[in-house]
């Protein structure tokens, strides 16, 4: 399995320079795709489509160019030793197999470490966004969010649950719209203590 570190290394090219989105290359690729499906990319309705699609992909994959540690840089002492849980964070990601959306909600919880350090609540949603905006599979997305929180907050425990519908299973292929996939990643106390895990899952599913 690809490690979190290896995936973050995608932000840096072979020459060590930070990767940036190549708008011209993306536009040319979309134009090629339109030609490949038998369309005329020069007809009026499609003339600006390569530009629009490239911009859309830049947004959908913006998480390739962001550093998760920077997103989680805001940490403050709050002397809080109980669960912090943000539920129902809307999540849109892109299946790396078919490049179509999988989307749903993420629930992110953690118990601060002995030093009582917490991060801003919005940062939990930002970390979800950052990893969602990459070519993904749901299992890796779930683990990466959990591991980023472990790395930055040194918490007693982390729990991440994602519920999503995959359009590659709905609009094509097996065609099962409405089928939902749930993945979880538990770290620390949520892994070792069934009681802690049960309490968090109870709050998440309530
Ligand atoms: N585990 C996992 N599988 C995923 C995810 N997103 C898409 N897939 C699956 O990836 C698999 C790719 O299978 P392939 O046989 O290589 O591709 P395919 O012929 O397009 O497969 P079908 O979707 O069954 O038509 C499919 O079973 C998808 O449902 C994900 O986030 N996690
Ligand atoms: Zn897919």
Q: Are residues 116 and 175 in the same domain?
A: yes
- At 16 the pLDDT is 63
Domain boundary among 65, 95, 118: 65
Q: How far is the CA of 138 from the centre of ligand 1 (A)?
A: 11
- The residue nearest atom 16 of ligand 1, judged by CA position, is 97
Domain boundary among 12, 40, 65: 65
Q: Which two tokens stand for residue 57?
A: 């992909």
The CATH number for 122's domain is: 3.30.1130.10
Q: Are residues 55 and 99 in the same domain?
A: no
Q: Are residues 107 and 44 in the same domain?
A: no
Q: Are residues 54 and 87 in the same domain?
A: no
Residues carrying an active site annotation: 95-98, 138, 166, 168
Q: Count up the domains in the chain and report the number.
A: 2
Listed residue (98, 26, 93, 35) closest to 57, CA to CA: 26
Domain boundary among 22, 49, 65: 65
Q: Are residues 61 and 148 in the same domain?
A: no
Question: What is the band of 5 on the pLDDT scale with cuts at 50, 70, 90?
Answer: very low
pTM: 0.92
Q: Are residues 78 and 61 in the same domain?
A: no
Using CA atoms, how far apart are residues 113 and 150, in angstroms rounded to an integer? 10
* Ligand 1 near 166 CB (within 6 A): yes
* Ligand 1 near 100 CB (within 6 A): no
Host domain of residue 52: 4-65
Q: Are residues 99 and 177 in the same domain?
A: yes
- pLDDT per residue as tens digits for the range 139-181: 999 999 999 999 999 999 999 999 999 999 999 999 999 999 9
**Predicted complex ipTM exceeds 0.90:** yes
Question: What is the DSSP annotation of 23-72?
Answer: HHHHHHHHHHHHHHTT--TTSGGGTTHHHHHHHHHHHHTGGGGS-HHHHT
Q: Are residues 27 and 91 in the same domain?
A: no
- At 7 the pLDDT is 45
Judge whether 98 is annotated as a binding position: yes
- At 11 the pLDDT is 57
Q: Are residues 54 and 79 in the same domain?
A: no
Judge whether 80 is annotated as a binding position: no
Q: Are residues 88 and 32 in the same domain?
A: no
Supply the mean pLDDT for the chain. Answer: 92
Q: Are residues 112 and 138 in the same domain?
A: yes
Q: How far is the CA of 96 from the centre of ligand 1 (A)?
A: 9
- State residue 204 phi and psi, 5-degree precision: -70, -40
């Amino acid at each position: 399995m690809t490690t979190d570190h290896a995936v973050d290394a995608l932000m840096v090219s072979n020459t060590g320079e930070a990767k940036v989105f190549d708008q011209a290359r993306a536009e040319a690729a979309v134009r090629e795709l339109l030609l490949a499906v038998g369309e005329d990319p020069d007809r009026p309705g499609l003339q600006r489509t390569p530009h629009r699609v490239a911009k859309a992909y830049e947004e959908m994959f913006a998480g390739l160019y962001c550093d998760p540690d920077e997103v989680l840089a805001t940490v403050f002492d709050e002397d809080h030793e109980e669960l912090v849980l943000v539920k129902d964070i809307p999540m849109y990601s892109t299946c790396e197999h078919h490049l179509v959306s999988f989307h749903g909600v993420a629930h992110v919880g953690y118990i601060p470490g002995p030093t009582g350090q917490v991060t801003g609540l919005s940062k939990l949603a930002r970390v979800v966004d950052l990893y969602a905006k990459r070519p993904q599979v749901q299992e890796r997305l779930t683990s990466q969010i959990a591991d980023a929180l472990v790395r930055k907050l040194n918490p007693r425990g982390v729990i991440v649950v994602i519920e999503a519908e995959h359009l590659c299973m709905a609009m094509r292929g097996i065609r099962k719209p409405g089928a939902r996939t749930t993945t979880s990643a538990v770290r620390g106390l949520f892994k070792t203590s069934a009681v802690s895990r049960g309490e968090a899952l109870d709050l998440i599913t309530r």
